[in-house]
Chains A and B, each alone.
Chain A
Amino acid sequence: MKQNLISLALATLLVAPLTHALDLGKLVDELNKNPDLVNAVSGAVQNTIDANRTIGPKEEAAIGDGLAANLLGAAPLVNDAALQRYVNQVGAWVASRSEAPNLSWRFGVIDSPNVNGFATPGGTILITRGLYQKLNDEAELAGVLAHEISHVLLHHHIRAIQAGKGREAMGNALQGFASYKQGDTARQIGANALSGMSEVFVRGLDKDDEYEADIRGMALAARAGYNPYALVSVLQALSAINPADGTVQLMFSTHPAPNDRLNKIDQVVGDKLERYATGAEETQRFYRLK
């Protein structure tokens, strides 16, 4: 009910310049009778303005940390320090070949049998144990991480939150930034705003974001000395999984079908990166997870 009143008031405010002054006067009267509504309306307007503006790197990092903490609340890290260190070595190397080598890049494998990967704004990237176990060599890992790194570089998640359901939650988070104390700003965002923004991981990105991350990720993997076509092998392995299998449901519902991604790579990349196909595939340091 309150929600309804707010949107009604908001709608009226938005068309206000076109309407009769008398109507506006009525609205002001109404608002005067109900101070809660005044606060709600001005808050919502302020949040909308905040959610529209360009998000700075510090805010992106804080929001990303909060989103990563939320994902880690859903599934903690695999308790294997050697695995986590290895994934950071590979990921940081690939990211160092990007246009943003100095972002705070962090990587982790989370303990879920589901097959999925998550990029959060600012450079924290999580992949599931289920996905890691599908990988045959380091070039395939690099291909997956390069895809996620590309989402970060292109600000895909921040933009999807701004354009989608998490918009108001992000407005709330951003409005708070001014008042946050120095230090760990991610903790000050609040669980509700984090939960609202985390919706992006359930709804997914635009298909174009996914194709773009595949295509740029392949070049990035090649820059790091890997065979860029290893991503093709990963997508072929994903395509072979029965979509009814519970471990792929969220990934398949938030990404274009693997075969659509392969078709796009075929169409856009084709043989353009073949001169780098002699890049590394297997490495001695590849960490096999049972």
Chain B
Amino acid sequence: MKQHWISLALAGLIAAGASWADSGTLIRATPLKQKPLLDAATVSELPANSRLNIVARKGAWMQVKTASGQSGWVKLLNVRTGSAGSGGGGGLGTLGKVITTGSSGTTVTTGVKGLSAEQIENAKPNFAELDKLKQYQVSSGSATSSARQAGLGAQSVPYVAYTRGSASGSNTDATSPMNRRP
């Protein structure tokens, strides 16, 4: 058992690897919880825009360390990573330009066409490789028994409704009424 815990911890360390020094920013004021549970004790109330070091993730929660050295858990969705922080726009604005075509409301983002875009544009179909891909296909029966062996169980989960055209807030195109669908 102890052996198991050590290898688990080790695996965790290895897995954490690159994300070891990751940091994030709170997008809203959030309680720092002692455990990844809503009814766990609150360590402190963290204000919006607090910088956090990311320690681990579990379920809908993220284990963090604050600048003042406090440790605890916050909801994953309250944290944004990257230099953009709570800005939400990422770095896309510096890269590309959003073009909206009025009639269809279709938004495409153009910008630096990296090598891979050119590779796709200039590609010739490789059907031999497609045949290879087909050989790896598995039946849903095989996938189901493999999943069961891996400890996975089916759940009954309804889809969360999404209303198209509700794109709002942080999007560069949100100000254009042409881009909203009825």
Tell me the A residues contacting B by CB distance below 8 Å: 65-66, 68-77, 81, 84-85, 87-93, 95-97, 101-102, 104-108, 112, 114, 116, 124, 136-138, 160, 163-164, 184, 186-187, 191, 194-195, 198-199, 201-204, 206-208, 211-212, 215-216, 218-220, 222-227, 229, 232-233, 236-237, 239-244, 246, 249-250, 252-254, 256-260, 262-274, 276-285
> Within 8 Å CB of A108, what residues of B?
133, 136
| CB neighbours of B84 from chain A (8 A) | 239, 257, 259
Given A70-B125, A72-B133: A225 in contact with B108 (beta carbons within 8 A): no
Q: Is A252 touching B96 in the complex (CB atoms < 8 A)?
A: yes
In this complex, the interface size class of chain B, counting residues with CB under 8 Å from chain A, is: 35 or more
Contact B133 A68 (CB under 8 A): yes
Residues of chain A with a CB closer than 8 A to B133's CB = 68, 72, 77, 84, 106, 108, 124
| Set of chain B residues within 8 Å of A239, measured between Cβ atoms | 80-82, 84, 90
**A257 lies within 8 A of B90 (CB):** yes
Q: Are A75 and B91 in contact (CB under 8 A)?
A: no
Mark the stretch among B39-47, B65-73, B149-157 that contacts chain A: B149-157
- Contacts A198-B120, A242-B91, A253-B95 given: A219-B112 contact, CB under 8 Å? no
Q: Are B95 and A92 in contact (CB under 8 A)?
A: no
Chain B CB within 10 Å, residue with most, of A77, A191, A222, A249: A249
Residue B126 CB within 8 A of the other chain: yes
In the bound complex, do residue B160 and residue A272 qualify as a contact, i.e. CB atoms below 8 Å apart? yes
Q: Which residues of the partner chain A approach B127 to less than 8 Å between Cβ atoms?
A: 69, 184, 186-187
Contacts of B121 in A (CB 8 A): 195, 198-199, 202
CB distance from A16 to the nearest CB of B (A): 22
* Chain A positions within 8 Å of B120 at CB level: 70-71, 74, 198, 201-202
Per the bound structure, the CA–CA distance linking A76 and B26 in Å amounts to: 40
Chain B residues positioned under 8 Å from A258 (CB to CB):
82, 90
Q: Could you list 15 A-B pairs, sorted by A, with CB under 8 Å?
A: A69-B129, A75-B116, A88-B138, A114-B114, A116-B116, A160-B106, A163-B104, A186-B130, A195-B123, A198-B123, A208-B181, A219-B158, A223-B155, A227-B60, A239-B84
- Enumerate B48-95 residues with CB–CB distance to A below 8 Å: 57-61, 75-77, 79-84, 87-92, 94-95
Q: Which residues of A contact B138 (CB under 8 A)?
A: 85, 88-89, 92
Check A106–B136 contact: CB distance below 8 A: yes
How far, in whole Å, are A184 and B58 apart by their CA atoms in the complex?
46
Contact A202–B113 (Cβ < 8 Å): yes
- Chain B residue with minimal CB distance to A202? B117
Is B1 an interface residue when CB atoms closer than 8 A count as contact?
no
Find out whether the CB atom of A203 lies under 8 angstroms from the CB atom of B137.
Answer: no
Q: Chain A at the B interface: mostly helix, strand, loop or mixed? A: helix
> A107 vs B143: C-alpha distance in the bound complex, in angstroms?
12
Say whether B15 faces chain A, with CB atoms less than 8 Å apart.
yes
Q: Are B164 and A75 in contact (CB under 8 A)?
A: no
Query: Quick check: A85 and B60 within 8 Å, CB to CB?
Result: no
A89 in contact with B143 (CB, 8 Å): yes
Is A249 within 8 A of B111, CB to CB? yes
Which of B58, B104, B136, B159 meets A88, CB within 8 Å?
Answer: B136
Q: Answer whether A224 and B147 are a contact pair too, CB < 8 Å, given A96-B140, A273-B157.
A: yes
CB distance from B140 to the nearest CB of A (A): 4
Chain A residues with Cβ below 8 Å from B173 are 207
Identify B151's interface contact among A90, A252, A283, CB under 8 A: A283
| Measured CA separation A154–B160 after assembly (Å) | 15
Contacts of B181 in A (CB 8 A): 208
Instruction: Please name all residues of chain B whose beta carbon is closer than 8 Å to the beta carbon of A198 when the two chains form the complex.
Output: 120-121, 123
The 5 closest A-B pairs by CB, nearest first: A257-B90, A243-B91, A277-B59, A92-B143, A249-B114
Which chain A residue lies CB-closest to B24?
Answer: A236
In the bound assembly, the distance between CA atoms of A191 and B130 in angstroms comes to: 15
List of A residues within 8 angstroms of B88 by Cβ: 257, 259-260, 262-263
Inter-chain contacts of B22 with A (CB < 8 A): 240
For residue A224, which residues in chain B have a CB less than 8 angstroms away from its CB? Answer: 147, 152, 154-155
* Contact status A249-B162, CB under 8 Å: no
Tell me if B170 counts as interface (CB < 8 A to partner A). Answer: yes
Query: Which of chain A's residues have a CB closer than 8 A to the CB of B167?
Result: 207-208, 211, 264
Counting chain B CB atoms within 10 Å of each CB, which of A89, A137, A160 scores highest? A89
